[in-house]
Structure 1
Amino acid sequence: MDFWAAVAVLLRRWYVTFPAFLLTIAGAYLVYIGIPPQYESSAVLMLTVPTTGSTQSTRPGKPEMLINPLLNFDGGLNMTASLLVRVLATARTAEELGVRPDGDTGYLVNNGHPNPELLVNTPFLMIEGVSTDPASAQEIVRKVVGRAKVELVTRQRLLNAPPATYITISEVISPTPAVIQNRGRLRPAATASLLGLCAGLMAGFAAESVSAGLRRRRAPRTEDRPPERQPDLPVCERTSPRRRE
C-alpha cells in the first residue's frame, strides 16, 4: 500500500481516525498539565590560587613575587575541582543539604563536563539546582555554593597546607533566579502524542480491514451457487429398420 492509498483509507474511515486524533490531543494536554513544572537555577564557581602563588617562603625576609590569579592555572586546580565535584555529588552530602531521594528538589555538580571521570582540565564548578518551587531551586544552589567553600577550606586544613597558599573560590556567576524549564513536560506529552497517533492509524486500518471482511462475507461465492439446470431436450424415438421382404 502506497502513501496515497493509505491517506485514502484514513479519509474514508474519518469517523474512526478523527475521534482518535481528538483523543490524542486531549491526552497529550492532560499529560502536559499533569506534570508539575520544573524550575532551574545555576551558579558557576572558579578556583584560584593566591597572589603569592602556591608556595610559601621559609625565609620571611625574602621578597615574594606577586602573581595574577587569573594567569596562574595549573593541574592542581583541575584536580581540586574534580575532588569537590565528587564530594558534593555524594548522597551523604545531598542529605545533609536537605535533599531527599523522593523529594522535588535536587542539584547537579560538574566541572564543565557531565562525566567527572574524564578529569576535564578546567578549574570551574558548574552547579544546577532544580525544583518544582522557584525559591527552593535557588536556595539549594546557594547551599551547594556554601558547602563547596567549606569543603575546600576543610580539605586544605586537613592536609596542613599553609594558610597563605589556600585555594579560594570566587563566584563567577552567583545563584541565578530560577526559570521555568518545560523539558520535563514536553517529552512525556510528545510521547503520548506519538502513541496516540499510532493508535489512531491502527484503528483506521483495522476499521478498513473489518469493513472489507464484511463485504466479502455478504458477497455470494461462485462455488456456493447451485449449478444451472440445462433445458430438457426432446427425446427422439428410435425407429427400427425395416425388415427386408
Structure 2
Amino acid sequence: MSPGNVADALLRRWYVLVAALLLTAAGAYHVVRPAPQYVGSAVVVLKPPVTQNQPNQLTNLQPPLAVLSYGVIRQLESPAGAKELKAAGVRGTYHLVPRNSGTSATPRYLIPSLQVQSQASGPEAAVTAVTRIVDVYTRHVDAVQKAEKVPAEARITATVLTSPSAAQVQGDKMRGLAGTALLGAAGGIVGALWLDRYLLSRRKDAPGRRRRTEPVPVVS
C-alpha cells in the first residue's frame, strides 16, 4: 500500500481518527489529573530469643530465621493466604518483599526482614492494610512455632523495624502524555486502515456488485 493509498483510506475513515482523538484526550486528562494513589510500607524483622550468649537479638540473625520468614510469606501468597488476608480486611494491591540488607555477596533471603507494601486511594487505607498484613504475618510465625511445641521463652518473634507509613505515588506526567499520544495515534491509524480494508472487501463481495457473464449469441 502506497502512501497515497494510506492517505485516501484515512480520509475515507476520518471518523475513526476522530474517535481515537477523543479517547486519547480522555486518557491524557487522566494522566494530567490522576486519581491520588498512596503506597503504605513497613519493614518487619524476625528476631531470635534473648540468650545469655547473645543478649542483643539483632546480632544473632541466622539463615534459619529467613527460612521461617520465607515459608510464612509463601503461605500468605497462596490462594488460602489471599483469602485469609481478604477476611482480615486487606483490600487492593499489596506486595510481600523479602529484603536483603547485607552486602552484594550476601545470599538472597539471608537476612530475615520483610517489606510489606500496600497501594490504596488514601494514606489511612494504605497504612491500615499494611498493619493488618503485619498482624497476619505475625500470627503465622507464632502459629508455626506453636505447632512445633516450641516453648514461649524460646520462640522467634516478629518485630516491626520500620513503622507503617504512606507516601503518595508521583508519576512522570510527560512520559505518560507521550505514551498516551503514541498509543492513540497508532490505534487510530491502524483501526482506520483495518476498517477501510474490511468495508472495501465486503463491498466487492456483495451480490449486487458481482458481474454475471452470459454467453453472447452468435448471429449467423
For structure 1, the residue ranges without an aligned partner over 5 or more in a row are: 1-19, 53-63, 203-245
Counterpart Cα distance in 2 of 1:23 and 1:29:
10
Equivalent residue, structure 2, for 1:171: 160
Match of 2:68 in 1: 80
* 1:129/1:137 contact within 8 Å kept: yes
Structure 1 Cα separation of the partners of residues 28 and 68 of structure 2: 47
Matches of 2:139 and 2:91, distance apart in 1 = 25
Q: CA RMSD in A?
A: 3.7
Distance 1:133 1:122, change over 3 A: same
Structure 2 matches for 1:179-218, cutoff 5 A?
179-183=167-171, 189-196=177-184
Task: Using structure 2 for the length normalisation, give the TM-score.
Answer: 0.61
2:41 is aligned with 1:37: no
Please tell me whether Structure 1 or Structure 2 has the larger radius of gyration of its CA atoms.
Answer: 1
How far apart, in 2, do the equivalents of 1:155 and 1:163 lie?
12
| Deviations 1:83-113 (CA, angstroms, capped at 9, x unpaired) | 121122223223233379xx96121102127
Of the three residues 142, 154, 160, the one matched with 2:143 is 154
Distance 2:99 2:54 in 1: 29
One-letter amino acid of the structure 1 residue matched with residue 44 of structure 2: L
Other-structure match for 1:3: none
- CA 1:126/1:187 → structure 2, altered by over 3 Å: closer, same or farther? farther
Report the equivalent of 1:222: none
Please give the alpha-carbon distance, in whole angstroms, between the structure 2 residues aligned to 1:99 and 1:162: 29
Match of 2:111 among 114, 122, 141: 122
Contact persistence 1:46–1:123 (CA under 8 A): yes
Contact 2:28 2:180 in 1 (8 A): no
* Greater CA drift, 30-39 or 80-89: 30-39
Q: Which amino acid aligns with 2:123?
A: P
User: Against the structure 1 CA distance between its residues 169 and 199, is the aligned structure 2 distance closer, same or farther, given a 3 Å change threshold?
Assistant: closer
Residues 106-142 of structure 1: per-residue CA shift (max 9 Å, x gap): 21102127xxxx9521210110011123322111100
Are the equivalent residues in 2 in contact too, given 1:48–1:77 (CA < 8 A)? yes
Q: Secondary structure at the match of 2:99?
A: coil
Which runs of no fewer than 5 residues in structure 2 stay unpaired?
A: 1-17, 101-106, 190-220
Say which structure is richer in helix: 2
Q: Partner of 2:40: helix, strand, or coil?
A: strand
Shift of 1:189: 4.5
Given that 1:27 and 1:192 are in contact with CA atoms closer than 8 Å, whether structure 2 keeps it comes out as no
Q: CA deviation at 1:175?
A: 0.7
TM-score, normalization: structure 1? 0.56
Q: 1:142 to 1:185 in 2, by over 3 A?
A: farther
The structural deviation recorded for 1:143 is 0.2
**Residue from 110, 121, 127 that aligns with 2:97:** 110
User: Is the contact made by 2:62 and 2:111 (CA closer than 8 Å) also made in structure 1?
Assistant: no
CA distance in 2 between counterparts of 1:80 and 1:33 reads 45
Structure 1 residues 156 and 120: CA distance shift in structure 2, 3 A? same
Deviation beyond 3 Å, 4+ runs, structure 1: 22-28, 33-37, 64-67, 182-190, 196-200
Map 1:138-153 onto structure 2 (within 5 A): 138-153=127-142
- CA contact under 8 A between 1:32 and 1:185: conserved in structure 2? yes
The percentage of aligned residue pairs carrying the same residue is 25
